[in-house]
């Protein structure tokens, strides 16, 4: 095995595979934190597997500008991914490196990298005996879509923060992606707070079937997935789902031009078990009011300021009061702990508002804080609810992207509390 390659381009090409190999790895999984490289005449095929996410990537002169790849002798090697990346980081980016095997060094030989003037500098990485195991890739799929990569990535990123993290409530440890003919709903939630990002458009999505198709993405695979998508230059991605095939495990396949990501260990029963969040988002709430988002920024900071270190020591949950006065068209955030806060915010009654009775309820300040952290800093948000013991829905102003020909609607809802 012997090849030459430009360091910077090689290092950049390996970033996605490296991320998969080290992010959210399954404990004691043999293939985790390893990278296997198949050195071929025209390309390097790189694989990594974290235990629940596997990646197969083809690196070649055709798909990587300035890679300068030249295969002298074909071969297969496996190394610790951290060793490989830290070694490449230690070599000046502009250097061309020569990579070859030294079979007599260490237990299973080593990978030698020489560079610099007359190749006088060198680094070695010990080779590993067992290569990365890649599960059988399914050949037939029940569901299949093609979607614009950037839209998918950006929409997914906005809802990622809300995915549940309690292993005792596993269904919420998934992100839901519901694909309709001209619309995709991205949904995450913890059971007490949910976020929905709806993307509408005619051109960003291609489907084989009409009607709703639901894809689910396990929490631990999302960081790797987003990282790979972020680093990719492809315009579109294919997402395919395969359940119950004879020779291959249940999987979700995300296919880019030269990269395949395989998500594994998925409990597909979540697709049907997941709560019907749309029943809340689509509900016609009797209370409906408009607030400019800027108005909330400082009052919410004031509320969170009361959750100081002393308060955190004795209280893990920080519930605050919301009092709505429809006569004065104002509502108050009130926190009463060691530090106190009472902040008044003006609102405008929405033209669809049906009730004007004053109402108050309590809610977790962590959810309230998120209202101003969704990346929207202008426009009116709509706050709607049915009663003091039902969830509160927040709708953000619709965003239109004329370049991508899409409309984006973001909403969230959170539960209220008795105390």
> How many residues would you count in the chain?
419
Interacting stretch for other proteins, rule CB under 8 A, among 95-103, 149-157, 274-282, 339-347? 274-282
Q: At 401, list the tokens.
A: 């992207």
- Strand 287-292 and strand 319-325: pairing? unpaired
- 390 touches other proteins (CB under 8 A): yes
Interacting stretch for other proteins, rule CB under 8 A, among 54-62, 259-267, 339-347, 387-395? 387-395
- Of 228 and 392, nearer to other proteins (C-beta) is 392
How far from chain centre, in Å, is Cα 404? 21
- In the complex, the smallest distance separating the C-beta of residue 276 from other proteins, rounded to whole angstroms, is 7
- 271 touches other proteins (CB under 8 A): no
- Of 24 and 283, nearer to other proteins (C-beta) is 283
Pairwise CA distance, residues 413 & 280, whole Å: 8
- In the complex, the smallest distance separating the C-beta of residue 320 from other proteins, rounded to whole angstroms, is 13
- 279 touches other proteins (CB under 8 A): yes
- 314 touches other proteins (CB under 8 A): yes
- Of 79 and 277, nearer to other proteins (C-beta) is 277
- Of 118 and 279, nearer to other proteins (C-beta) is 279
Per-position DSSP letters for 150-207, written without gaps between them? HHHHHHHHHHGGG----TTSGGGGEEEEEE-SSEEEEEEE-SSEEEEEEEEESSSEEE
Per-position DSSP letters for 84-121, written without gaps between them? HHHHHHTS-TT-EEEEEEETTSTTT-EEEEEESGGG-E
Backbone angles phi, psi at 77, to 5 degrees: -135, 150
- 419 touches other proteins (CB under 8 A): yes
- In the complex, the smallest distance separating the C-beta of residue 229 from other proteins, rounded to whole angstroms, is 30
- Strand 143-148 and strand 174-179: pairing? unpaired
Binding mask 164-193 for other proteins (x = CB under 8 A): ----xx---------------------xx-
**Binding positions for other proteins, rule: CB under 8 A:** 168-169, 191-192, 194, 275-276, 279-280, 313-317, 319, 364, 389-391, 413, 415-419
């Amino acid at each position: 095995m012997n090849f030459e390659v430009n360091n910077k381009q090689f290092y950049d090409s390996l970033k996605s595979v490296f991320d998969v190999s080290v992010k959210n790895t399954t404990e004691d999984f043999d293939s985790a934190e390893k990278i296997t490289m198949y050195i071929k005449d025209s390309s390097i095929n790189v694989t990594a597997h974290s235990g629940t996410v596997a990646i197969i990537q083809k690196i070649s002169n055709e798909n990587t500008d300035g890679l300068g790849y030249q295969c002298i002798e074909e071969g297969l090697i496996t190394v610790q991914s951290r060793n490989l990346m830290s070694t490449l980081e230690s070599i000046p980016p502009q250097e061309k490196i020569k990579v070859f095997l030294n079979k007599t060094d260490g237990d299973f030989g080593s990978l030698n990298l020489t560079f610099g003037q007359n190749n006088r500098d060198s680094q070695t990485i010990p080779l590993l005996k067992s290569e990365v195991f890649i599960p059988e890739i399914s050949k037939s799929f029940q569901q299949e879509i093609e979607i614009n990569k950037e839209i998918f990535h950006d929409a997914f990123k906005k809802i990622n923060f809300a995915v549940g993290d309690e292993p005792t409530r596993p269904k919420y440890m998934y992100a839901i992606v519901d694909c309709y003919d001209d619309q995709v709903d991205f949904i995450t939630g913890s059971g007490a707070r949910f976020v929905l990002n709806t993307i509408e458009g005619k051109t960003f999505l291609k489907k084989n079937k009409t009607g709703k198709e639901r894809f689910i993405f396990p929490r631990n695979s999302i960081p790797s997935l987003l990282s790979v998508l972020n680093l990719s230059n492809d315009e579109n991605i294919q997402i395919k789902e395969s359940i119950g095939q004879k020779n291959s495990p249940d999987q979700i396949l995300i296919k880019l031009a030269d990269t395949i990501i395989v998500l594994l260990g998925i409990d597909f029963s979540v697709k049907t078990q997941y709560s019907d969040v749309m029943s809340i988002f689509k509900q016609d709430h009797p209370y409906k009011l408009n607030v400019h988002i800027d108005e909330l920024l400082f009052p919410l900071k004031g509320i969170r300021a009361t959750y100081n270190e002393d308060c955190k020591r004795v209280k893990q949950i920080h519930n605050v009061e919301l009092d709505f006065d429809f006569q004065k068209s104002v509502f108050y955030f009130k926190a009463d702990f060691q530090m106190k806060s009472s902040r008044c915010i003006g609102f405008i009654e929405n033209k669809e508002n049906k009730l004007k009775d004053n109402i108050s309820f309590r809610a977790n300040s962590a959810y309230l804080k998120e209202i101003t952290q969704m990346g929207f800093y202008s426009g009116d948000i709509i706050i709607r609810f049915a009663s003091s013991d039902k969830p509160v829905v927040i709708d953000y102003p619709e965003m239109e992207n004329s370049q991508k020909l899409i409309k984006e609607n973001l909403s969230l809802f959170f539960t209220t509390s008795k105390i």
